[in-house]
Amino acid sequence: MSGDAFISITGKLSADPAMRFMPDGKPVTNFTIFCGNGRDYKDTPWKIAVWGAMAESCAEHLHKDSVVSVRGALSVQKETGEPKLWTDKSDNQHVELSVMAERVKFIDGFGTRNSDAPAKPAAKTTPRQEYADDDIPF
């Protein structure tokens, strides 16, 4: 896909993802993530479309407030090569930022943790064996 603009963004889902199937049976999942400083209205919404097996995985495992990192092609209007621009009823200008995801990484442990989920056991470590200079095994 030469010539495509690829982007990587990390954000939080604003709602549960919605999965549907195309007429050929291929699954597609759509969701919106917000990225920004999280404290004011300047957070940027990004519409994400995921296809195939990754779409099924996203629909199964993601939910509102999940944090993800997405890499994909920035969707633009064919006529202008720019993101979709539109005006609402109050005559305010808006831009629609969309990504056709090629990879979605679920970020665990970021933000709030589900208190009902069991804690992961600590990794077992073996005690370090000390060698004298003349006992080094190589």
Please report the pLDDT score of residue 111 as a whole number.
44
Annotate 36-74 with DSSP letters as a single string: S-SSSTTPEEEEEEEEHHHHHHHHHH--TT-EEEEEEEE
- pLDDT tens digits, 98-129: 999 999 999 965 444 443 444 444 444 445 55
- Domains belonging to the chain, first-starting first, are 6-110 (2.40.50.140)
Residues 110/67, Cβ–Cβ less than 8 Å: yes
Confidence of residue 33 (pLDDT cuts 50, 70, 90): very high
Which letter does DSSP use for residue 128 in this model?
P
- pLDDT tens digits, 45-88: 899 999 999 999 999 999 999 999 999 998 887 788 778 887 88
Residues 66/48, Cβ–Cβ less than 8 Å: no
**Of 115, 39, 31, 95, nearest in space to 65 by CA:** 31
pLDDT at 37 over 80: no
Those residues whose C-beta lies under 8 Å from the C-beta of residue 66, and which sit 6 or more positions away, are 12, 13, 106
Q: Is 102 helix (H, G, I), strand (E, B) or coil?
A: strand
